[in-house]
Amino acid sequence: MRQIPGLKKKPWYTRNIPEAILTAFVPALTSGVGSVTLFNATWNDHAFLGACLAVGALLAAAGGVQKLRRAVDQDKQQAQANTPDGILAAVHVVYHVLAHWCQDKGTDPGNLRINFHSVIKQPKQGIYLEQIIPYVGGNGGPPGRRTDIKTGIVGRVARTHNLCALHRDGEMKHDALIELLTGDWGFTEDEARSVAKDRYSWLGIPICDNTNHQVVGVLFLDSTNPELCENSSFQSQTVSAAAGIIEYVSERYG
């Protein structure tokens, strides 16, 4: 199964357009320059060769235009295929399913937010997690944020393949929470202070491939209600709702 791509664009030199330019227009330019040189310098001796080069340059340029158009279309299709719009739509569905469940059960969802982190494996950078969609349900950090796989709830979920929940009660002091997050959960101090600002419960759900052996993403939830994410019924409902994301990911990236 392919990994769910992050938001970083491919380097320009790996796209189809530079290849089309190098393989079509450069030969055409070379032939054109050669034909002009022959016409100007030794027309009487090499007229036929110059004419052949000129025709070759025109044909290569015409072929290059077609190849460039195909390359542009291919780059657009590849860019569209890498967008996380489908995952964002699926997370919106999960959010509304959970919001309705809370309403039916009389459970306070607090300010519930959800986002999705993709597990990215790169030869040089190693393994890390990247938030590939904006928060659904409230404002949060922008897409594109990267975290080490050794850090926080999403990192623990990716490493252990298990659901993970954390909460703080209203009596836990801010400094004590910072110490918990930095000491036990691997957050940096800046990350811990951001998490602790107004959140009281957190939940991470592993999104596995179709073999269930590899975590390809993590569904992450947080809330201002300290009891929400450690509610076993809410966790079960979240896992059931996330099954649709797993099916979508398996079909698209499998």
Query: Using an 8 Å Cβ cutoff, are 192 and 151 in contact?
Result: no
* Closest C-alpha among 236, 245, 181 to residue 217: 245
Averaged pLDDT score across all residues of the chain: 79
C-alpha torsion 179→215→115→4, nearest 10 = 130
The Cα 149–Cα 125 span in angstroms is 11
Q: Which residue has tokens 């990215």?
A: 120
DSSP symbol at 136: B
Q: What is the pLDDT of residues 70-103, one digit of tens each?
A: 666 665 656 555 678 899 999 999 999 999 999 9
Q: Global pTM?
A: 0.70
Express as a percent the part of the chain with pLDDT over 90: 39
- Side chain identity, residue 197: K
Residue type, 207: I
Q: 165 or 47, which is more confident?
A: 165
**113-159: per-residue pLDDT in tens?**
999 999 999 887 789 999 999 999 988 777 888 888 988 889 999 99
Contacts of 140 (CB under 8 A, 6+ apart): 113, 115, 134
Quote the pLDDT of residue 252: 86
Q: Does domain 85-253 have CATH number 3.30.450.40?
A: yes
Number of H-type helices and E-type strands within the chain: 7, 6
- Crossing angle for the helix pair 232-253 and 85-105, to the nearest 10 degrees: 160
What pLDDT is stored for residue 17 in this prediction?
A: 58
Task: Look up residue 200 and give its DSSP letter.
Answer: -
